[in-house]
Amino acid sequence: MTRTRSPLLVWALAALAAVIALTVLMNVGPSSARTGTSTVSVPAGAATEALPLAASAPVGIEIPAIGVTRDSVMKLGYNEDLSLQVPTDAATVGWFSRGAAPGTNGPAVFASHVNYKGVEGGFAHLDALTAGDEILVHRADGSAVVFVVDRVEQASKQAFPTAQVYGPTGDAQIRLITCGGDFDASRRSYEDNVIVFGHAERAWR
């Protein structure tokens, strides 16, 4: 006599298969897209520059690992409460012009939105960066600096690591900042910040 499975058993097996498939997609799919760190190549004929560099404002930034390419950078200052200003639209990347210039000793601080008024922000995928990824900053004097990501942190806005982000350093470093964590609908703001810490590795002109 042929045995048939009950509808309940068939449903349970199908549900289990769906869970297994979803787990495979979640654990293998996204991570398999990246098999290593993303680096920047030195252009042919470029002359190496010794770090640290003389001050020069950034005019562009590239983050190949997350598909960011900007050929302009907005200057940012302080708000009235001394918090960092943010770009006025979703896509723009801003540089804290009262801090270090990229390539000089100290942290060059850049910021962009994770999203803004329903539009994906310039730093929407900042949390996908990993140690070893490279960031290329173009400067007004025609030089370029490559920074290497050291770590990525998520910190509460109520306990922002100000000294680590803005404090003096003995070499040229970079900070990339955007929003992260849960969205507080009552304040229309994210509760955390995603912060990338990195150091200058090489420069050329």
Q: How many CB atoms lie within 10 A of CB 132?
A: 14
Whether 31 shows a pLDDT value over 50: the answer reads: no
Whether 140 shows a pLDDT value over 80: the answer reads: yes
- pLDDT classification of 33: cutoffs 50, 70, 90: low
For 4-16, letters b (16+ CB in 10 Å) and e give eeeeeeeeeeeee
Whether 8 shows a pLDDT value over 70: the answer reads: no
> What integer pLDDT is reported at residue 60 of this predicted model?
98
Contact (Cβ atoms closer than 8 angstroms) between residue 198 and residue 131: no
> What integer pLDDT is reported at residue 11 of this predicted model?
34
Mean residue pLDDT of the chain comes to 86
CATH 2.40.260.10 fits 41-204, yes or no: yes
Whether 25 shows a pLDDT value over 50: the answer reads: no
If one compares 7 and 67, the residue with the highest pLDDT of the two is 67
Sorted by where each begins, the domain ranges of the chain are 1-33, 41-204
- Segment 165-187, tens digit of pLDDT: 999 999 999 999 999 999 998 88
Structure tokens at 41: 């190549």
Distance CA 191, CA 38 (A): 29
